[in-house]
Protein backbone atom coordinates (compact mmCIF):
# COMPACT_ATOMS: atom_id res chain seq x y z
CA UNK A 1 0.00 0.00 0.00
CA UNK A 2 2.80 2.37 0.99
CA UNK A 3 4.58 1.64 -2.28
CA UNK A 4 1.38 2.38 -4.18
CA UNK A 5 0.95 5.75 -2.43
CA UNK A 6 4.58 6.64 -3.19
CA UNK A 7 4.12 5.76 -6.85
CA UNK A 8 0.98 7.91 -6.99
CA UNK A 9 2.83 10.81 -5.35
CA UNK A 10 5.73 10.60 -7.78
CA UNK A 11 3.34 10.49 -10.67
CA UNK A 12 1.66 13.66 -9.39
CA UNK A 13 5.07 15.33 -9.11
CA UNK A 14 5.86 14.40 -12.70
CA UNK A 15 2.44 15.61 -13.82
CA UNK A 16 2.94 18.96 -12.10
CA UNK A 17 6.49 19.38 -13.42
CA UNK A 18 5.58 18.78 -17.03
CA UNK A 19 2.37 20.84 -16.84
CA UNK A 20 4.24 23.76 -15.31
CA UNK A 21 6.88 23.66 -18.04
CA UNK A 22 4.14 23.60 -20.64
CA UNK A 23 2.40 26.53 -18.93
CA UNK A 24 5.70 28.42 -19.01
CA UNK A 25 5.55 28.58 -22.78
CA UNK A 26 3.99 31.98 -23.39
CA UNK A 27 3.32 32.83 -19.74
CA UNK A 28 6.68 33.86 -18.32
CA UNK A 29 7.03 37.50 -17.37
CA UNK A 30 9.57 39.59 -19.20
CA UNK A 31 11.91 41.40 -16.83
CA UNK A 32 15.23 43.01 -17.71
CA UNK A 33 17.11 40.77 -15.26
CA UNK A 34 15.79 37.66 -16.99
CA UNK A 35 17.71 38.23 -20.22
CA UNK A 36 19.78 35.10 -20.72
CA UNK A 37 23.00 37.04 -21.31
CA UNK A 38 22.88 38.71 -17.90
CA UNK A 39 26.06 38.30 -15.84
CA UNK A 40 26.22 36.69 -12.43
CA UNK A 41 26.51 40.14 -10.88
CA UNK A 42 23.53 41.54 -12.78
CA UNK A 43 21.28 38.66 -11.77
CA UNK A 44 22.55 38.85 -8.20
CA UNK A 45 21.67 42.55 -8.00
CA UNK A 46 18.12 41.81 -9.15
CA UNK A 47 17.63 38.94 -6.70
CA UNK A 48 19.14 41.00 -3.89
CA UNK A 49 16.62 43.78 -4.54
CA UNK A 50 13.62 41.50 -5.18
CA UNK A 51 13.63 40.24 -1.61
CA UNK A 52 10.61 41.83 0.07
CA UNK A 53 10.14 44.19 -2.87
CA UNK A 54 7.67 44.00 -5.77
CA UNK A 55 9.23 43.34 -9.17
CA UNK A 56 7.74 46.53 -10.64
CA UNK A 57 9.65 48.63 -8.07
CA UNK A 58 12.88 46.80 -8.83
CA UNK A 59 12.29 47.30 -12.57
CA UNK A 60 12.22 51.06 -12.00
CA UNK A 61 15.68 51.30 -10.45
CA UNK A 62 17.44 48.33 -12.07
CA UNK A 63 18.70 49.97 -15.31
CA UNK A 64 20.00 53.08 -13.53
CA UNK A 65 21.64 51.01 -10.82
CA UNK A 66 23.55 48.89 -13.36
CA UNK A 67 24.54 51.96 -15.31
CA UNK A 68 25.93 53.70 -12.21
CA UNK A 69 27.35 50.53 -10.61
CA UNK A 70 28.19 48.01 -13.35
CA UNK A 71 30.22 45.78 -11.02
CA UNK A 72 31.30 45.33 -7.41
CA UNK A 73 34.32 47.59 -7.94
CA UNK A 74 32.01 50.48 -8.77
CA UNK A 75 30.06 49.84 -5.58
CA UNK A 76 33.29 49.72 -3.60
CA UNK A 77 34.32 53.09 -5.03
CA UNK A 78 30.94 54.73 -4.41
CA UNK A 79 29.79 56.30 -1.18
CA UNK A 80 26.82 54.87 0.66
CA UNK A 81 24.94 58.09 -0.11
CA UNK A 82 25.50 57.64 -3.85
CA UNK A 83 24.04 54.15 -3.67
CA UNK A 84 21.10 55.27 -1.54
CA UNK A 85 20.31 58.01 -4.06
CA UNK A 86 19.58 55.31 -6.66
CA UNK A 87 17.91 52.63 -4.55
CA UNK A 88 15.86 54.79 -2.21
CA UNK A 89 12.56 53.94 -4.00
CA UNK A 90 13.06 50.27 -3.10
CA UNK A 91 12.88 50.81 0.66
CA UNK A 92 15.31 49.25 3.17
CA UNK A 93 17.89 51.44 1.42
CA UNK A 94 20.22 51.84 4.41
CA UNK A 95 20.39 48.12 5.05
CA UNK A 96 20.77 47.34 1.35
CA UNK A 97 23.45 49.93 0.64
CA UNK A 98 25.45 48.89 3.71
CA UNK A 99 25.24 45.21 2.73
CA UNK A 100 26.31 45.97 -0.85
CA UNK A 101 29.24 48.04 0.39
CA UNK A 102 30.31 45.19 2.68
CA UNK A 103 30.09 42.66 -0.14
CA UNK A 104 32.10 44.90 -2.48
CA UNK A 105 34.72 45.47 0.21
CA UNK A 106 35.07 41.71 0.60
CA UNK A 107 35.34 40.68 -3.06
CA UNK A 108 35.61 42.20 -6.52
CA UNK A 109 33.96 39.21 -8.24
CA UNK A 110 31.05 37.15 -6.97
CA UNK A 111 31.70 33.51 -6.23
CA UNK A 112 29.83 30.77 -8.07
CA UNK A 113 29.70 28.63 -4.94
CA UNK A 114 26.43 28.60 -2.99
CA UNK A 115 28.28 28.20 0.31
CA UNK A 116 30.33 31.35 -0.34
CA UNK A 117 27.38 33.41 -1.55
CA UNK A 118 25.33 32.54 1.53
CA UNK A 119 28.10 33.85 3.76
CA UNK A 120 27.69 37.35 2.32
CA UNK A 121 25.68 39.84 4.35
CA UNK A 122 21.90 39.69 3.75
CA UNK A 123 22.31 36.82 1.29
CA UNK A 124 20.42 33.65 2.13
CA UNK A 125 19.85 30.44 0.24
CA UNK A 126 17.02 31.89 -1.82
CA UNK A 127 19.16 34.69 -3.28
CA UNK A 128 22.19 32.42 -3.76
CA UNK A 129 20.22 29.64 -5.46
CA UNK A 130 18.16 32.00 -7.61
CA UNK A 131 21.30 33.85 -8.73
CA UNK A 132 23.12 30.67 -9.74
CA UNK A 133 20.07 29.06 -11.32
CA UNK A 134 18.97 32.10 -13.33
CA UNK A 135 22.42 33.22 -14.44
CA UNK A 136 24.23 29.89 -14.78
CA UNK A 137 21.44 27.32 -15.07
CA UNK A 138 22.52 25.49 -11.92
CA UNK A 139 19.99 22.91 -10.75
CA UNK A 140 19.16 24.53 -7.41
CA UNK A 141 15.72 24.79 -5.79
CA UNK A 142 14.25 28.13 -4.83
CA UNK A 143 11.79 28.27 -1.99
CA UNK A 144 10.10 31.44 -0.84
CA UNK A 145 6.69 31.93 0.76
CA UNK A 146 4.95 32.04 -2.61
CA UNK A 147 6.48 28.82 -3.87
CA UNK A 148 5.84 27.11 -0.56
CA UNK A 149 2.20 28.15 -0.92
CA UNK A 150 2.00 26.48 -4.34
CA UNK A 151 3.68 23.25 -3.26
CA UNK A 152 1.77 22.94 -0.01
CA UNK A 153 -1.53 23.42 -1.85
CA UNK A 154 -0.83 21.06 -4.74
CA UNK A 155 0.78 18.28 -2.72
CA UNK A 156 -1.08 18.80 0.55
CA UNK A 157 -0.24 15.97 2.94
CA UNK A 158 2.82 15.03 0.87
CA UNK A 159 4.42 18.45 1.37
CA UNK A 160 6.96 17.85 4.15
CA UNK A 161 7.00 19.76 7.40
CA UNK A 162 10.70 20.22 8.00
CA UNK A 163 12.79 22.68 6.02
CA UNK A 164 15.39 20.11 4.98
CA UNK A 165 12.68 17.76 3.69
CA UNK A 166 11.00 20.63 1.84
CA UNK A 167 14.29 21.46 0.13
CA UNK A 168 14.77 17.81 -0.82
CA UNK A 169 11.20 17.71 -2.18
CA UNK A 170 11.75 20.87 -4.24
CA UNK A 171 15.06 19.50 -5.51
CA UNK A 172 13.38 16.31 -6.68
CA UNK A 173 10.85 18.29 -8.69
CA UNK A 174 13.50 20.23 -10.60
CA UNK A 175 13.97 18.96 -14.15
CA UNK A 176 17.52 18.02 -15.06
CA UNK A 177 17.49 19.66 -18.47
CA UNK A 178 15.99 23.11 -17.78
CA UNK A 179 15.83 24.03 -14.08
CA UNK A 180 15.99 27.72 -14.96
CA UNK A 181 12.70 27.73 -16.87
CA UNK A 182 11.08 25.57 -14.20
CA UNK A 183 12.04 27.95 -11.38
CA UNK A 184 10.99 31.02 -13.37
CA UNK A 185 7.67 29.33 -14.11
CA UNK A 186 7.12 28.54 -10.43
CA UNK A 187 7.58 32.19 -9.52
CA UNK A 188 5.23 33.36 -12.25
CA UNK A 189 2.62 30.68 -11.62
CA UNK A 190 2.53 31.69 -7.94
CA UNK A 191 2.12 35.34 -8.96
CA UNK A 192 -0.44 34.84 -11.74
CA UNK A 193 -2.55 31.77 -10.84
CA UNK A 194 -1.85 30.25 -7.44
CA UNK A 195 -2.04 33.63 -5.75
CA UNK A 196 -3.07 34.02 -2.11
CA UNK A 197 -6.62 34.07 -3.54
CA UNK A 198 -6.06 31.36 -6.14
CA UNK A 199 -7.56 31.27 -9.62
CA UNK A 200 -8.27 27.55 -9.46
CA UNK A 201 -10.70 27.49 -12.38
CA UNK A 202 -7.89 28.61 -14.68
CA UNK A 203 -5.31 26.25 -13.24
CA UNK A 204 -3.77 23.26 -15.02
CA UNK A 205 -3.39 21.44 -11.70
CA UNK A 206 -6.99 21.58 -10.53
CA UNK A 207 -7.71 17.93 -11.18
CA UNK A 208 -5.05 16.72 -8.74
CA UNK A 209 -4.40 19.70 -6.45
CA UNK A 210 -5.22 18.77 -2.84
CA UNK A 211 -6.25 22.30 -1.93
CA UNK A 212 -8.78 22.42 -4.76
CA UNK A 213 -10.13 18.98 -3.96
CA UNK A 214 -10.58 19.75 -0.26
- Residues near ligand SF4, by CB under 6 A: 150, 153-154, 193-194, 198-200, 203, 205-206, 209, 211-212
Nearer to ligand SF4, 117 or 194 (CB): 194
Identify which of 62, 37, 67, 36 has the alpha carbon closest to the alpha carbon of residue 49. 62
Pair 80, 97: CB distance under 8 Å: yes
- For residue 193, which phi and psi values (nearest 5 degrees)? -120, -60
Nearer to ligand SF4, 61 or 205 (CB): 205
Nearer to ligand SF4, 108 or 195 (CB): 195
Identify which of 134, 133, 163, 138 has the alpha carbon closest to the alpha carbon of residue 148. 163
Nearer to ligand SF4, 132 or 209 (CB): 209
Q: If you write DSSP's letter for every residue of 99-165 in order, what string do you get?
A: HHHHHHHH-SS--S-HHHHTTSTT--HHHHHHHHHHHH--------HHHHHHHHHHHGGGS-SSHHH
Smallest distance from ligand SF4 to CB 203, Å? 3
Helices (H) and strands (E) in the chain, counts: 12, 0
Smallest distance from ligand SF4 to CB 211, Å? 4
Nearer to ligand SF4, 59 or 200 (CB): 200
Nearer to ligand SF4, 82 or 210 (CB): 210
Residue 200: CB atoms within 10 Å: 14
Smallest distance from ligand SF4 to CB 55, Å? 20
Smallest distance from ligand SF4 to CB 198, Å? 4
Tell me which long-range contacts 51-54 makes (C-beta under 8 A, separation of at least 24): 51/122, 51/126, 51/127, 52/91, 52/92, 53/90, 53/91, 53/92
Smallest distance from ligand SF4 to CB 127, Å? 25
Smallest distance from ligand SF4 to CB 94, Å? 37
Amino acid sequence: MREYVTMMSHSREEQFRSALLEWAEGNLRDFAWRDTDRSLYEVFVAEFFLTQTPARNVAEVYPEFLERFPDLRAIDSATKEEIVAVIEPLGFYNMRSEALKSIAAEMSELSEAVEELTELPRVGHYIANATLCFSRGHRLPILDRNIERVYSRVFGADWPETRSDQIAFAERLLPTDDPRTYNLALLDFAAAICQPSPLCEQCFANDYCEYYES
